[in-house]
Amino acid sequence: MTKRKHKLETLKQSLYEVFDPQDINCIHEELWRWVKAASNNELYLHMGDPSFILFMERKFKRMIRYAWHLHQKHKEEFVAEPQMLSPLSESCIEQQRQHMLQLDDLITRYKGTVRRLSKAETENPLLFFHRFFQYINSKKEWYQILHSWAEYSLSRSSMLDFSNDVDLEAFELIEGLLESMYLLHLQDHPNQEYLDPVVKLIIETISPRMIFEVRHSSVGNQNTSITEWLIVVPDSRQKRLSELEPIIDLITVSDRFFSCSLHTSSHIIDKLKSGHIYFSFVCIPQNLIYGSLPGRGDAEGRGVLPETLSQVIAETQKTFDTGHQKAQAFHTSALNQSERSLGLFMLQQAAELIFRTVALVLYGCEKKTHSFKALKQITRRVAPALNEVLPANTSEEKRLLQLLEDAYINGRYANDFEVSEADFQTLNQRVEKLLSLSREIVNDRIALALNTNEESILNGTI
């Protein structure tokens, strides 16, 4: 075992003598130009130096050699063959649809650098090596493909002169090999130079322990997804979270579809131990974009066990239904009030309950306040679509929101508090929207939890 480990370390060192992961985008481009040159009659001259082709061939041969030894070490973990689906069957079409959805997410996350791997393979590149050597189960045959590309790209002859086409699947697998090597390097060296500039800023100003990223699918009438970062800071931090929040607000102020939230390590551990529906399916390896998870024995290193999933969802649904039913009751009472000022108080209570319930269910925070400004600070992080129903982006919208907030006191006690029919109906429509949208959001999050948990089971992270 020690000898094999030494062999792998030697191969890795040999690979990085010719492969700089920072150059992955340039290598992507050069690889395409290389194969293109091999399939036409034009000579490939890189900056007037044809020896570059030989360097490219050597680089990818070392990748194949390293991947082969990793594959041999771990191949028994992937003995199960994937189920073959009939072309154009419903299962095959659904599989392709899910792959395209995941691909869009991966292209966004890795800024176009990763485009040939599946989501599971980005999380565990060893899965890709299994696919790579299933296609051609020989190092020498892969070497021969690279040698052919080099030979034809440096001559007037073309591969197409001797074959009807170019093996595009082999080319795509070579691209995938490049991407898997890049990801392996990132796992070994979570260096800041590879990170998003915003992540760098957060690291420099807050010094987090971990950062998780989750993308919520669009809800309501929105045409875009919502990205949230959960930033976990160590309990030993010198500053309180309230002192760090202005930094987060500054980072997210210009993008209403991007939000961040701050949490202590102990808070995350408590939520994971209790099986919280939101945190349990966000704080997982697949969503980690900075830092490293503790060992599997730690609460932070595991997801919700399958046998407890139904109980967690049932408790979450019960909490939401209780709050939602109370809000619905206030809304019904508002419509039955002959006095509009008292009716507006009922609408205010319904709206407040919706915001508080969603914050409790999705964020684990029960904010007891009548200020919509304070409530919206929480929902902006976990359910920004709710804030769009009661915006404050114009003078008229600010007036309506203030009117609704004032109704908590004035609707019951002020004799001169007047509410026009038009304002009442407008706010009534907004509350109706909150009632329907909040249920849609929570159902969406539960579906996300189910999907994530299923993927975690398949990938062996639970």
Q: Which amino acid is at 227?
A: T
Q: Under a CB-based contact definition with an 8 Å cutoff, are residues 350 and 389 in contact?
A: no
* pTM to 2 decimal places: 0.54
Neighbours of 210 (CB within 10 A): 22
Instruction: Classify 197-290 by CATH class.
Output: alpha beta
Q: Under a CB-based contact definition with an 8 Å cutoff, are residues 309 and 239 in contact?
A: no
Query: What's the mean pLDDT in 69-94?
Result: 67
Query: What's the mean pLDDT in 189-218?
Result: 73
Q: Please provide the DSSP assignment of 215-238 as one string.
A: EEPP-TT--S-EEEEEEEE-TT-S
What's residue 324's pLDDT?
95
Which residue, 75, 57, 77, 58, is CA-closest to 67?
75
Q: Could you give the angle at the alpha carbon of 351 between the alpha carbons of 350 and 353, nearest 5°?
A: 65
**Over pLDDT 70: what percentage of the chain?**
76
Q: Please provide the DSSP assignment of 309-336 as one string.
A: HHHHHHHHHHHHHHHHHHHHHHHHHHHH
Most confident by average pLDDT, 167-176, 250-259, 429-438: 429-438
Higher-confidence position of 123 and 223: 123
Residue 427: partners with Cβ closer than 8 Å, 6 or more residues away: 344, 347, 400, 403, 404
What's residue 451's pLDDT?
67
Average of per-residue pLDDT values in the chain: 79
What's residue 439's pLDDT?
93
Residue 40 in tokens: 């036409």
CA distance 42 to 274: 64
Instruction: Classify 308-447 by CATH class.
Output: mainly alpha
What's residue 462's pLDDT?
38
CA atoms within 13 A on the CB side of 100: 6
Residue 410 in tokens: 């004035």
293-302, 335-344, 384-393, range with the lowest pLDDT? 293-302
For the chain, the domains span 2-189, 197-290, 308-447
What's residue 345's pLDDT?
92
Higher-confidence position of 195 and 390: 390
Helix boundaries (H) for 110-212:
119-123, 125-135, 139-153, 168-188, 197-206
What length does the chain have?
462
Which pairs count as long-range contacts for 18-23, CB under 8 Å and 24+ apart, including other chains?
18/55, 18/58, 18/59, 18/62, 19/59, 19/62, 19/63, 19/181, 21/181, 21/182, 21/185, 21/186, 21/194, 22/193, 22/194
CA distance 312 to 446: 10
Strand partners, 214: 228
What's residue 372's pLDDT?
85
Residue 404 in tokens: 């609704």
Which residue, 322, 316, 332, is CA-closest to 354?
322
pLDDT in tens, 222-248: 555 677 888 998 887 767 887 887 887
Higher-confidence position of 99 and 285: 285
pLDDT surpassing 90 at residue 262: no
Query: What's the mean pLDDT in 257-286?
Result: 79
Residue 159 in tokens: 């591969």
Q: Which amino acid is at 203?
A: I
Q: Under a CB-based contact definition with an 8 Å cutoff, are residues 259 and 228 in contact?
A: yes
